[in-house]
Chain A
Amino acid sequence: GIQVEQSPPDLILQEGANSTLRCNFSDSVNNLQWFHQNPWGQLINLFYIPSGTKQNGRLSATTVATERYSLLYISSSQTTDSGVYFCAGRQAGTALIFGKGTTLSVSS
């Protein structure tokens, strides 16, 4: 199966700062998703982005499928953005495989 690597593992920001999270995958995927796991464990779907660029408010994501990586941008970070961000990739007929996550801490 594919390997998914995320960086950085931990990120500490001041409120208002911008950040970029990266996800590399070992082989081509036909599904790439970004999630935010809240303190209660619920995975919140942020983006379904096998290729291209999408934006949703202060968050945006870009996947360059030919180079096997995806980026998640968080602008003007807020304390409520704190938590763990996962990316996960999937090949046809298989389940999503998760990276180890990036733990983001935003302080006021």
Chain B
Amino acid sequence: GAVVSQHPSWVICKSGTSVKIECRSLDFQATTMFWYRQFPKQSLMLMATSNEGSKATYEQGVEKDKFLINHASLTLSTLTVTSAHPEDSSFYICSASPGLAGAVLSYNEQFFGPGTRLTVL
């Protein structure tokens, strides 16, 4: 159990276009999902917290109008990079926790998707 998927796994787009990345929890429900960004040879940096049915919470320095997050259901969160530019090229990773006390999976443990590599030309 505890599988998180992402789609697409990689995408190349032209500057100025928008790109949508999907994050799904396949075998558990997640009221909260998290989006991270990782530049080459660096660590994962938290971008935002995605809450089902409410607005996302963005970390300082992350433009909410540029990185649109929608958590439409308990198993799906989407990140849309709007008007992408070359500096947005990065590895984007989502994560989720089961979030239910007493579940088979640890309440607090986070599981990560395989990531989406975005290249903006």
Residue ranges of A at the interface with B (Cβ–Cβ < 8 Å): 30-31, 33, 35, 40-43, 45, 48, 50, 86, 88, 90, 95-101
Interchain CA distance A66-B114 in the complex, whole Å: 33
Point out the residue from A35, A50, A95 that lies within 8 Å of B46, measured CB to CB.
A95
Chain B interface extent, by class: 20 to 34
B2 to chain A, nearest CB (A): 8
Residue ranges of B at the interface with A (Cβ–Cβ < 8 Å): 2, 34, 36, 38, 42-46, 49, 91, 93, 95, 106, 108-112, 114-115, 117
- Please list 17 pairs of residues, one from A and one from B, whose beta carbons are closer than 8 Å in the complex, sorted by A's number: A31-B110, A33-B109, A41-B91, A41-B93, A42-B112, A42-B115, A43-B93, A45-B109, A45-B111, A45-B112, A50-B108, A90-B108, A90-B110, A96-B95, A97-B46, A100-B42, A100-B43
Point out the residue from A45, A95, A99 that lies within 8 Å of B43, measured CB to CB.
A99
Point out the residue from B2, B43, B91, B117 that lies within 8 Å of A98, measured CB to CB.
B43
Question: Contacts A95-B110, A100-B42 given; 4 further ones with Cβ under 8 A?
Answer: A41-B115, A42-B114, A48-B109, A86-B43
